Chains A and B, each alone.
Chain A
Amino acid sequence: MTTNMHTLVRGQGRRPGGSQARRSEGLSVEHPRRRKTLVMVTRIAFIAFVLGLWQFLSGRVVEDFLISNPIDVAVKLYEVAGDSEMHHNILITGQELVLGWTLGSVAGAVVGWCIGAVKFLGEVLEPIIIAINGIPKVALAPMFLLWFGLGIGSKVAISAMIVFFLVFNNVYTGMRSVPQPLVDVAKAMGASRTYIVRRVVLPSVSVPLFAALRAGVPMAMIGVIAAEFVSADEGLGHYSMAATQQFDSAGLFAAIVIIVAMVVTGTGIIGIFQRRALAWMKD
């Protein structure tokens, strides 16, 4: 893979003019489309196979109440779709997710930017932040409940903290790896500091920033669900906990499907912004 990419890049470098570029573009139009279809078909077949296997094993090899089965989960999903209590749970968890992710992202980006911009600060604080990052954040959930109460505050705090470290880390290292030759080029052109920040540093840091923002969505969800597990009377984490305690495995799986759908949607939305902002990287 790496070798292939390497030859590809080198090959591009040697291309003498435009005509060859156009020809290879023409070739590459049909081929990937056919490939894409093949990937899609195989993927659907794989999912169908796994669901079928699950359905087959459930009740035959493994007790049904342990793993439920796809049909029961689908029925359950249909039932809760019109249930106002479930709507409330989704809303609560959604709120916690959005708030936690946003707070953590903003704080992580700001702190990462500042510490990355001021070399002295970075030298002083970097090892300390790495050490704090070593704490398994979910383990702090009980304490956060004490600090921020049983409501959504503690859930937001936990997920914000997880996202904070992720975004901080990427922005901080991103600030450190802004290509110096490009900064020098801009300087040689007589660019001001603010101009360099706007036109060189920001676009360069936005690559790791967006990566962290996207990866932050599932991480934020982990924080929210874990905090709800510890103590909550609403939300999807609470719902799945209650379902498990009542041996309602279909309910648990239904909650997981909803959680996954929320994470996929969130990641997808960030992905749209990412693709738009980083259009220059797209092939």
Chain B
Amino acid sequence: MTGSLVVDKPAVITGNLSHRFQRPDGGTMDVLEDVSFTVREKEFFTVVGPSGCGKSTLLNVASGLLRPTSGDIRLLKDDRALEQEEIGYITQDSNLFPWLTAIQNVMMPLEIRNVPKKERLERATEWLDLVGLTGFADHYPRQLSGGMQKRCSIARTLVHEPEVLLMDEPFGALDAITKATLQKTVLELWEKRQTSVVFITHDLTEAIALSDRVAVMTGRPGRIRAVVDIDIERPRDVYNITDLPSFKALRRELWQLLETELESGEAAKR
């Protein structure tokens, strides 16, 4: 139902993407089946779905870590396929280098790209400020809280200004308060820098608060069940978004889409 969607400037296109895992016992398992959607340029696109529906597989394919069994996924800018370096990928683990300080971690992508030392330092400092880590440049990751580590890893991913940002449940392991403040930070950064984002979560509140559109996936094998437009005007107040009547309606709509899915999943098990 989304494959036919026409957009002026696509950023991410998937076409009939399917992926099948080889199981250790020799059998196979279909994780993704005919997944098609298009993310518009500078759009915040979120995928929600029950656990194990292949959401992470989707991003692993998008980031180039996995090759799909069939179909393809293209990350574009002005009809040009993106290089791997132009894609930013943030996962649930911060994966900071423990032997590097916060600023050294953020400078790493620039160092790899041979950016001059002075510019490296300037840009990394700017990004540390942007994610709210001013004054923590010389702290090692173990000296930072979980939320601060996350901020640092976001700065590290964004410092080379990727064209497309893939986020796989980035705040899944954080407590509710830290999560909300980070959501706010990410929204502010996105509004300022306007990259295309593919965001994966199983948190409906998070999906509504952040996204332009939310795709609901079915249980395994994962398919796109529906794509819902989130018509809440920006800039949004992440902290109090749940008070909006439109939020409640959207949440109900998304939940119903998920619920029928969960019930049919239960039925299938029986």
Contacts and interface: CB of A to CB of B under 8 A. Distances in A.
Question: Do the two chains bind?
Answer: yes
B84 A200 contact: no
A189 B99 contact: no
A16 B95 contact: no
A18 B95 contact: no
Interface stretch (A111-119, A177-185, A230-238): A177-185
Nearest to A188: B89
Interface stretch (A7-15, A221-229, A266-274): A7-15
A158 B142 CA distance: 41
A12 B98 contact: no
User: Which of under 10, 10 to 19, 20 to 34, or 35 or more describes the interface residues of A?
Assistant: 20 to 34
A16 B95 CA distance: 19
A278 B89 CA distance: 29
A18 B135 contact: yes
Given A18-B136, A188-B84, A200 B97 contact: yes
B71 interface: no
Given A14-B175, A189-B109, A280 B85 contact: no
B112 interface: yes
A16 B177 contact: yes
The secondary structure that dominates the A interface is helix
A125 interface: no
A190 B114 CA distance: 11
A10 B59 CA distance: 29
B179 to A, nearest CB: 11
B63 interface: yes
A210 to B, nearest CB: 13
A190 B97 contact: no
Interface string A145-158: 00000000000000
Nearest to A20: B145
A199 B65 contact: no
Given A181-B93, A181-B95, A189-B112, A13 B85 contact: no
B17 interface: no
B181 to A, nearest CB: 8
Contact of A16 (B109, B112, B178): B178
Given A200-B97, A280-B98, A190 B113 contact: yes
A14 B98 contact: no
B97 A189 contact: no
Contacts of B178: 14, 16
Contacts of B108: 186, 189, 199
Contacts of B93: 181
Given A16-B178, A181-B95, A199-B97, A190 B84 contact: yes
Nearest to B97: A182
B211 to A, nearest CB: 24
Contacts of A18: 135-136
9 contacts: A14-B146, A18-B136, A21-B143, A21-B145, A181-B95, A186-B112, A188-B89, A190-B113, A199-B97
Interface of A: 12-18, 21, 181-182, 184-186, 188-192, 195, 199-200, 203-204, 278, 280-281
